[in-house]
Structure 1
Amino acid sequence: MRLSAKRHFGIALVVAGALMCLAGAALYVMPGPGFPVLALGLAAVVIGLLLLAALRRE
């Protein structure tokens, strides 16, 4: 896998995680199961940022 493809994957994870965080926060405020979506969104953001940080060192 090329380095640019890995970088795009990291960026996509961060963007998708941020959107999931927003959706989870909205569901958390309204009556609904928002915490699992919020937790998955935060995990995706953290993993995406770690991937980008690891690729930056290469």
Structure 2
Amino acid sequence: MFSWALLFFIIAIVCAVLGFTTLAGAAATIAQILFVVALALAVLSAVFEALRGRPPI
């Protein structure tokens, strides 16, 4: 999921450089949402793994 966020971030940069500001804003917003969701899932996964008693990798 982090790779999707990075992809949309790169798309946003390219669109901003080319002057497509609306598309760049939309891609940046999607990248932010994907990053937050991926971060939340990573934290939840780490918490549940700790609660199960398995050590983190």
TM over 0.5: yes
How many pairs align?
A: 46
Q: Larger relative CO (CA 8 A, sep 6+): 1 or 2?
A: 1
Moved over 4 A (4+): none
Unaligned runs of 5+ in 2: 49-57
Q: How far apart, CA to CA, are the structure 2 residues paired with 1:52 and 1:16? A: 15
Aligned to 1:56, which of 46, 49, 55? 46
Q: Which amino acid aligns with 1:50?
A: A
Unaligned runs of 5+ in 1: 1-12
Over the aligned positions, Cα root-mean-square deviation in angstroms equals: 1.0
| TM-aligned CA deviation for residue 14 of structure 1 | 1.2
